[in-house]
Structure formats: C-alpha cells, structure tokens
Amino acid sequence: MGEPQMEDLSTSNPVIELEGDEFWPLSGKPFFDVVLTKTSIKPMCQLVVPGKFSATLPSCSIPTVLTFRGKNWEMTYHGSSNYKRLDNWKAFAIDNNLKVGDACVFEQLECSSTRLVFRVQILRGDIPSEFLDKLDGDNVDAPIVLE
C-alpha cells in the first residue's frame, strides 16, 4: 500500500455548494454587492448600481449580460441617469427566485462602450421574522435598518 495522495487545494478554485447555489472566490476583478429591497424585486424590478462602482462604468445606456449557473440574462445598464441602474432584470429575479433580503455579488467580467458582462453570486438572506415588521427598504431614502 502506498502513501495516501493529498490534493493541493491552494492552487485550485473550488466551488462550494450551499443550498443549490454556487459560490466561488472572487477573481480580483471589480465587483459590487447589493442587498435586495422591495423595489429591486417588485413592482419596478430595477437594480440601482452603487455610486462608487457606477463611477467606473460608461455614462450611457448599453447592453448588459448577467451570468449565473451557466445561464445568461440580457438587460440594459443605464449610466446616463441620476441613478445608474439595470433595467429589464425582472426575468433574472424571477428565474432565480430572488427575495427581499437576498444579496447579489456582481463581478465585472467585461466592460466596454458596447457591452457589460457580470458574473453573479446569489447569497440567500432570509430576514428573520422578528425584523419583518421593521422592514421598509422601499428606496434609498428608507434603507433596511437592523438594530
């Protein structure tokens, strides 16, 4: 019998499965994260890109692709308005059963004047029932506050 073989995990990028969603280490490319609020899901289904990150993106409307678990969703990034946002992301939200309190990490894979591509990680974050009565989170002026 020979010595047991040990795999060197320090050079690989393992995928960790948690409740069916995929998680992996970020690659060092630019990213932003968002905790979803009511306006991210219903009725508007708009996702506002944080100001600090949107400053690095084009100041125009361009086609955008979100990729998650081997699938792609096409939408539009609007960089010319006061609130930089992703429109038409309703299909992504529905297909992935996103809920208020979930978080998404958007890792930028491509950024040009003609197209944006983000790889998305979804972190399920069911809000504990004791906080639901305190939850507003309808817009940036009424954030979710946990005391």
- What pLDDT was estimated at residue 126? 62
Q: Work out the average pLDDT over 93-100.
A: 93
- What pLDDT was estimated at residue 83? 81
Q: What is the DSSP letter of 11?
A: G
For domain 30-132, give the CATH superfamily.
DNA-binding pseudobarrel domain (2.40.330.10)
Dist. CA 130–CA 140, nearest whole Å: 22
Per residue in 59-79, pLDDT (tens digit) is: 999 999 999 999 999 999 999
Pick the range with the lowest mean pLDDT from 7-21, 34-48, 93-107, 129-143.
7-21
Dist. CA 84–CA 95, nearest whole Å: 23
Please determine, for residue 39, whether its predicted confidence score (pLDDT) is greater than 60: yes
Tokens representing 11 are: 């050079």
Tokens representing 6 are: 């040990």
Pick the range with the lowest mean pLDDT from 27-31, 45-49, 137-141.
137-141
Please determine, for residue 49, whether its predicted confidence score (pLDDT) is greater than 60: yes
**Lookup result for tokens 């280490």:** 25
* 119, 65 contact by CB (below 8 A): no
Pick the range with the lowest mean pLDDT from 23-27, 32-36, 73-77, 94-98.
23-27
Name the maximum alpha-carbon separation found in the chain: 68
